A and B are shown apart, each in its own frame.
Chain A
C-alpha cells in the first residue's frame, strides 16, 4: 500500500490557460474520486470512476473540466480556459467499495492568477 499520489503538488497558472493534474490511486482500488476543496470549506465531490468508467459527475464539473481514467489505473483531471474561481485544492481518493474508507492523496493546490 503505497498510498494515493497526486502530481503536481502545486500549480500556478494564468487565467485562460489549460492545466492537467494526475492521480495514481492505490493499485488494487477500482474506485477513484475527485473532490475540490476551497478555503474554509470541506471537500466537494466532483466525479467518480469505477475502473475506467466515469459513472457520475457533479454539477460543479462544468464543461471546461474533463476527467479520464484510461485502463482503470491512473486518472487525469483537466481544466480548460482556467478562471480565478477554479483556484482550489483538488483532491483525489480511491477505495475498494462504496461506503468503505476513502484513501486520499495530498492534493494539488491550484492558483489561477
Chain B
C-alpha cells in the first residue's frame, strides 16, 4: 500500500518570505500522480499543484512550485512571496496511474503566515 508522510506538523513563515513544505511517499509503482492540496478554515480542499511522475520537469503554478525527486520519493512544495491568504493546512497526496480512483493523503502541515 502507498503511504504519504508529512514530517512537519506546523510551519510558519514571514509574509513575503519563502517556505518549503516536505513530503515523502512510498510506492512500488512507476506511473502515478502527486498533489498538494490546501485546506483553509472554510474546509474546502483546493488543489494547489499537480505533478505527473513521468514528467521530469517540476510543476509550477505562479508562486507555488515543487521539487520532485522521484528516486528519493520526495515531493516538496515551495511557496514564494508568502501572503496572509496562504495560511492553511497543506496536504500532500498520491494517486496511482490514470485509472486510479483513490487519493492517499498525508496528515498535513499547518502553515501560519506572520504579518
User: A residues bordering B, Cβ < 8 Å?
Assistant: 31, 33, 35, 40-45, 48, 50, 55-56, 89, 91, 93, 97-99, 101-102, 104-107, 109
Q: Which residue on chain A has the smallest CB distance to residue B44? A: A106
Closest to B42 in A: A106
A43 near B103: Cβ-Cβ < 8 Å = yes
**B49 CB to closest chain A CB, in angstroms?**
10
Total A-B pairs, Cβ < 8 A: 65
Query: How many whole Å from B21's CB to the nearest CB in chain A?
Result: 13
Contacts of B50 in A (CB 8 A): 101
The complex places the Cα of A106 from the Cα of B46 at a distance, in Å, of 10
11 inter-chain pairs at a CB distance below 8 angstroms, sorted by A residue, are A31-B101, A33-B102, A41-B108, A42-B108, A43-B103, A44-B105, A55-B101, A98-B100, A101-B35, A102-B45, A104-B45
Per the CB 8 Å criterion, the residue count for chain B at the interface is 28
Least Cβ distance of B50 to chain A in Å? 6
CB of B42, distance to nearest CB on chain A (Å): 6
Asked if B84 is at the interface (CB within 8 A of a chain A CB), the reply is: no
Distance (Å) between the CB of A6 and the closest chain B CB? Answer: 10
Decide: B106 and A48 in contact? CB cutoff 8 A: no
**Complex: how many Å from CA A34 to CA B93?**
15
Please encode chain B, from 94 to 107, with 1 for each CB lying within 8 Å of some chain A CB and 0 for all others. 01111111111111
Once the chains bind, are B103 and A56 in contact (CB under 8 Å)?
no
Contact partner of A91 (CB less than 8 A), chosen from B45, B96, B99, B108, is B45
With A91-B45, A101-B47 in contact, is A45–B95 under 8 Å at CB?
A: no
Q: Bound complex: CA of A91 vs CA of B43, how far in Å?
A: 9
- Lowest 8 A-B CB distances belong to which pairs? A42-B105, A104-B45, A48-B101, A98-B100, A106-B44, A99-B98, A45-B102, A99-B33
